[in-house]
Structure 1
Amino acid sequence: MDIFDLVVIGKVVLENEVVIAEIGVKNEKITAISRDIGVLKGNKTLDFGQSYVFPGMIDVHVHCFSNPNEGFIPTSSSAAVGGITSFMDMPYDLPNPISNVAQFNKKVHQLEQEALVDICLWGTISKTGGTDQIIPLAEAGAIAFKMSTFETDEYRFPRIPDPEILKAMELIKETGLRAAFHSENDEIIVDLIDQYQKSGKVYPRAHMETRPPVTETSAVLKLMEFAYWTGVKLHIVHVSHPRTIDLINLFKSQGVQVTSETCFPYLLLDVNDLDHFGPKAKMNPPLRYPEDSDGLWKHLQAGNIELISSDHAPWGPEKKDIGKDNIFLAASGLPGLEIIAPLMFDSAVAKGNLTPLQFAKLMSQHPAEVFQIPGKGKIAVGYDADFAVIDPDATWIIDETKFRSHSKLSPFHGKKIQGKVVHTIVRGTSVYDGTDLTVKPGFGKFIAGSAAKKSLVGSE
């Protein structure tokens, strides 16, 4: 009889059923699943009783280096504590974005020294003249390409002009990877903010009022039409309004390969929270009306949104507090990597809004499928032994002061949650035991994208 490196027992969430089962792990992979308990023998056994053993969660939208105070160690520590076994790090690093192979390879090297969980890396392009780096970045292992129709910073986070977007889409199509976009209409937003500032309308809700839904939907429409003509696989990040999903469904029916994500704050907060919390709840796109949040939930339940992300943006008080008297001065974004899985479990599974199977697809399977992440996203033989164990009966209080992230500011501070991450396992190794991190930086691995040339991955 085989002796496994590890046997995991619990309420296992498979692709199409939830069963009390045991999982045999050998050489970092799932090699057996038994519905009979006590059949598999391991050098180590972890019995989680009635807790759910989910496939490891995957967060496709994380910003490790937009704030250089953060980086891989705090972020991947947050991931491990939150049941996130893999994440995709965005390319808008400060001071230099990941828009060329030299920067990409440097980041891979740092990742391999510092990561506690497995990480994929996004690539991007410079504002103009950068499309020649797309094929080399794909071959170096970029998981996908992120661009924006809104400009945060001309160098680090630029608005890409339409001719460059079309060129980029044609090249990205050749790689088989996905072109993703921050989709907001820059011209309308800049004009509205200018009007509001001149009128002294700088209260928190002004952030939403200067980014009305049309600024999202009009940008998404343009991108989907470009994708129709170029044939690229398109992904729309952080959808904040249900009409955007209505339009995505329309283009899907016309054969456009377009997927979408929403972020947990759009489901769990609304513009009244922006009024209440001010800069702490400021993100782009902004929080919307309660009925818009309800509409996103309906789309989620209908299967119209592929996945949920955190858009983890770890700003500290030095970037948030300056917006207390003028919301436009505050940095946009919230920390979320450590709390997205329990928050969504509480609001979705514990409250009966989604089944555990639906939750696993949104948080694990679909992210892996949309971005072609090999061996991740499912509990199945041959897949990586990545597990997020959630005790559905445990209740706890979110405490922002205990976040592993540099950012210790959250509108969810003090919220009581039902469902707690009690163990996180990456490739058969416990990285979090419910209390402490149990691996050192460097345990996590770089996951290369599907267009990578193996000879280039990790090379200088």
Structure 2
Amino acid sequence: MEKYDLVVRGKIVGEDRVIQGQIGVKDGKIATIQPMEAELHGDKVLDFENAYVFPGTIDVHVHCFSNPKEGFIPTSMSAAAGGITTFLDMPYDLPNPISNVEIFEKKVQQLEQEAVVDICLWGTIAKTGGTEQIIPLAEAGAVAFKMSTFETDAYRFPRIPDPEILKAMQLIEQTGLRAAFHSENDEIIVDMIDEYKQANKVYPKAHNETRPPLTETSAVLKLMEFAYWTGVKLHIVHVSHPRTIDLIQLFKQQGVQVTAETCYPYLLLDVSALDKFGPRAKNNPPLRQPDEVAGLWKHIERGNIDLVSSDHAPWGLEHKEPGNDNIFLSASGMPGVEIMTPLMFDATVAKGKCTPIQFAKIMAQHPAEVFSIPGKGKIAVGYDADFAVIDPEAKWVIDENQFHSNSKLTPFHGKEVQGKIIQTIVRGTTVYDGTDVTVKPGFGKFVAGAAAKQ
């Protein structure tokens, strides 16, 4: 009788069906999936009964190092507590962006010492003259390349000029990786913010008003046209408006390989949250009108949005509070890795808005497929034994003070959620037991991108 390292029992969410069954795990991989009647013996057996055993969530949009107080340890502990078994860390680090191989390799070493879940790393390029690093970064294991049409910081988070975008796309196309963009029209936004400041219109909703939908859609249109002519695989991050998805559908019909994500705040909040929560609800692009949020949900239901990410930005109060009297003085972004998966479960499966299989696809399978992450994203034989176990009946209340992240602020503080992460398992090892993170920093592994030199 074959003995497994671990046997996991529960409602197993496979690629095309949910079964009351069991998974045999050997050497960190899924070795077999069987109905409950089968006799599976394991050194350890975890029986979750009627809880769902989902593939571990993959969050493609996380910023560990935009706040110097954060980093891999608190972010990956937060991820573990939030059912995220793999995340993709963005390249806009302080003090230096991940725009050359030397910096990239140092980050890999730090990751291997500090992570508690598995992590892929994004690369980026300097504002000008940085494209020669693209092929070396791809070979070093970058999972994809992130660039921006909006300037947050000329060195760390620059707006890339069009000629450099074209050069970058041509080189990224050769690697087979994706070129991803923060897509906002810098010139219009900067001009509108200047006008608003001069008129002393600095109230919370001014953040939305100075970034109207056309600032997103016009930037996305340009990038898709560039992708049409270069053949690169394009990914649009944090889509906030349904028209952006309408345009993406048009370009897909013309053969452009373009994928898109939205983030949980764009689905679960609207612009009124800026009045209610002030800087805590400030993110880029901004929260939209209720009818625009409803339009995003329609696209989710039709399968037009590939995946949902957090855009986890772990700012402290010191970064947010300057915006209490002038919204433009506040940092943009909110933490999310610890609450995204349960919040999305509560808004979808718990409310009958999507099936567990659809949930698994948008939170795990599609992220793995879009970014070509091997062995991750679904419960299938040969894949990593990465699971997010959710009790669908459990109700709990979000408490920002309990976050593992140093960022202890969220507009979702005090919200009751149906669906609780009761266990997170990475490569067959429990990293979160429903109460505590159960592994030491260094358990998590670097997952190299598809163009890495072996």
Q: Write the letter of the residue equivalent to 2:360.
A: A
Alignment partner of 1:366: what SS?
Answer: helix
Which residue is equivalent to 1:212?
Answer: 212
Which residue is equivalent to 1:351?
Answer: 351
Which residue is equivalent to 1:330?
Answer: 330
Q: Write the letter of the residue equivalent to 2:415.
A: K
Which residue is equivalent to 1:240?
Answer: 240
1:43-442, aligned counterparts within 5 Å?
43-442=43-442
**1:38: Cα distance to partner?**
4.8
After TM superposition, which residue ranges in structure 1, 4 or more long, deviate above 3 angstroms? none
Superposed CA deviations along residues 60-85 of structure 1, whole A, max 9, x for unmatched, are: 00000001100000000000000000
Can you give the 5+ residue segments of structure 1 that lack an aligned partner in the other structure?
Answer: 455-460
Q: Write the letter of the residue equivalent to 1:324.
A: N
Please identify, of 308-317 and 350-359, the stretch whose mean Cα deviation from structure 2 is larger: 350-359
Which residue is equivalent to 1:458?
Answer: none
**1:119: Cα distance to partner?**
0.1
**1:201: Cα distance to partner?**
0.1
**1:39: Cα distance to partner?**
1.3
- Mapped to 1, the partners of 2:37 and 2:91 lie a distance apart of 45
Identity of aligned residues (%): 76
Alignment partner of 1:292: what SS?
Answer: helix
Superposed CA deviations along residues 15-46 of structure 1, whole A, max 9, x for unmatched, are: 00011010000000000010134511100000
- Mapped to 2, the partners of 1:433 and 1:374 lie a distance apart of 26
Which residue is equivalent to 1:19?
Answer: 19
Q: Write the letter of the residue equivalent to 1:145.
A: F
Please identify, of 50-59 and 349-358, the stretch whose mean Cα deviation from structure 2 is larger: 349-358
Which residue is equivalent to 1:29?
Answer: 29
> Contact 1:264 / 1:310 at 8 angstroms: preserved in 2?
yes
Alignment partner of 1:5: what SS?
Answer: strand
Give the alignment's TM-score, normalised by structure 1: 0.98
Alignment partner of 2:384: what SS?
Answer: coil
- Mapped to 2, the partners of 1:386 and 1:208 lie a distance apart of 38
Q: Write the letter of the residue equivalent to 2:202.
A: V
> Contact 1:397 / 1:415 at 8 angstroms: preserved in 2?
yes
- Mapped to 2, the partners of 1:350 and 1:293 lie a distance apart of 19
**1:148: Cα distance to partner?**
0.1
Q: Write the letter of the residue equivalent to 2:251.
A: F
Alignment partner of 1:44: what SS?
Answer: strand
Which residue is equivalent to 2:447?
Answer: 447
Alignment partner of 1:166: what SS?
Answer: helix
- Mapped to 2, the partners of 1:188 and 1:54 lie a distance apart of 43
- Mapped to 2, the partners of 1:263 and 1:132 lie a distance apart of 31
- Mapped to 2, the partners of 1:403 and 1:88 lie a distance apart of 20
- Mapped to 2, the partners of 1:34 and 1:317 lie a distance apart of 49
- Mapped to 1, the partners of 2:78 and 2:422 lie a distance apart of 14
Which residue is equivalent to 2:2?
Answer: 2
Q: Write the letter of the residue equivalent to 1:199.
A: A
> Contact 1:364 / 1:377 at 8 angstroms: preserved in 2?
yes
- Mapped to 2, the partners of 1:167 and 1:332 lie a distance apart of 29
Q: C-alpha root-mean-square deviation of aligned residues, in Å? A: 0.5
> Contact 1:22 / 1:37 at 8 angstroms: preserved in 2?
no
> Contact 1:423 / 1:433 at 8 angstroms: preserved in 2?
yes
- Mapped to 1, the partners of 2:275 and 2:287 lie a distance apart of 10
Q: Write the letter of the residue equivalent to 1:344.
A: M
Which residue is equivalent to 1:457?
Answer: none
Alignment partner of 2:337: what SS?
Answer: coil
**1:275: Cα distance to partner?**
1.1
- Mapped to 2, the partners of 1:429 and 1:14 lie a distance apart of 20
Q: Write the letter of the residue equivalent to 2:237.
A: V
Superposed CA deviations along residues 171-217 of structure 1, whole A, max 9, x for unmatched, are: 00000000000000000000000000000000000000000000000
Superposed CA deviations along residues 139-159 of structure 1, whole A, max 9, x for unmatched, are: 000000000000000000000
> Contact 1:54 / 1:360 at 8 angstroms: preserved in 2?
yes
- Mapped to 2, the partners of 1:374 and 1:40 lie a distance apart of 27
Alignment partner of 2:189: what SS?
Answer: helix
Can you give the 5+ residue segments of structure 2 that lack an aligned partner in the other structure?
Answer: none
